[in-house]
Amino acid sequence: MPSTSFHHALKIDHDLCIGCANCKRVCPTEALRVKNGKAHLGAEFNKEKSPV
């Protein structure tokens, strides 16, 4: 079975992120979310919610 890993061209530096959501507004794939004042890629956000 093939791996289902994702390659992201974007890396969020959480130390520099101020949670302004500008990145979310301009993201063409709508993959970014802001949670607890920090930006997260959709895949990262879904992993955090996963009960596994």
Alpha helix ranges (H) inside 1-52: 22-26, 42-49
The whole-number pLDDT of residue 36 equals: 92
Average pLDDT in the 19-32 region? 92
Beta strands 32-35 and 38-41 are: antiparallel
The Cα 41–Cα 24 span in angstroms is 9
pTM for this one? 0.61
pLDDT, mean of residues 13-28: 94
